[in-house]
Amino acid sequence: MNYLAFKEQKEKWIIDESREGSTILTIRVNVPGKQKKYPWSSKIHKYACEMLEKYLVNLAIAFERIELKLSDEYYEYIAFYRIHELPLCVKKLAIALENEEIIGRLLDLDVYDAVGKNLSRDGMNIPTRKCYLCDEAAFICGRSHKHSIEALHQFMILKAEMLGDKKVAMEGII
Ligand SMILES: [Zn+2]
C-alpha cells in the first residue's frame, strides 16, 4: 500500500472510531524519506508506546490500544489508542511526550477529538518543532532538503541505540 492509500484509510477509520465520543491518539516515528520501517524505527516506536502507556497508567487515565483493520499491512509503525479523557488534556500529554529528552523529538503524536478533527500545535501557542540536526525549524529544513536522509537516519539510529537500558523517565511530566 502506498502512503496516500494508507493515509486515506487511516483518516476514514479515525472519523468512524471517534464517533463513539472518546479521544483518539496515534503515535508514529517521524522517519524522513519514503521508507519508514527499519529495525531502529521499530525499536523507537515500541519504546514510545511503552512510555505513553506508563504515563497514562501513572496519571490514572483509562485507555485501550486498538487495531486499525486495513486491507494491507501498515505503511509505517503506528499505534492507535482510545483515551478516555478530554482531547485538550490528551494533546497536552502528547506534547509533553514529544518534549521528552531522548526520543521525544523523533515522535509524532496526533490527537483527534470526538468528530475526528486533528488538534494542531498551531492553535496552542507552542513553538514549532526543531530540526534533528540544526537549530532551524524542522519544516524549513525538510522543505529545502538541507540534510541528507542518511544523516537524519543516522541521528535516529544513535538515539535508538541509547534506548537499550534507559528507564522511562517520569519526572517533569506530571
Ligand atoms: Zn536542519
Residue 73 lies in a domain: yes
Model pLDDT for residues 43-60, shown as the tens digit of each residue: 999 999 999 999 999 999
Average pLDDT over residues 31-47: 93
Q: How many domains does the chain have?
A: 1
Cα 150 to middle of ligand 1, angstroms: 13
For position 166, what pLDDT does the model report? 52
Residue 74 lies in a domain: yes
Q: Say how far apart CA 112 and CA 103 lie, in whole Å.
A: 22
Cα 66 to middle of ligand 1, angstroms: 35
Average pLDDT over residues 11-18: 82
Cα 155 to middle of ligand 1, angstroms: 12
Model pLDDT for residues 96-124, shown as the tens digit of each residue: 898 887 888 899 999 998 888 888 766 67
Cα 125 to middle of ligand 1, angstroms: 22
Residue 53 lies in a domain: yes
What predicted TM-score, i.e. pTM, was given to this entire model? 0.86
Residue 39 lies in a domain: yes
Least confident window among 9-13, 19-23, 143-147: 19-23
Cα 50 to middle of ligand 1, angstroms: 29
Cα 146 to middle of ligand 1, angstroms: 6
Residue 18 lies in a domain: yes
Contact 30, 44 (CB under 8 A): no
Q: Say how far apart CA 116 and CA 138 lie, in whole Å.
A: 26
Cα 152 to middle of ligand 1, angstroms: 9
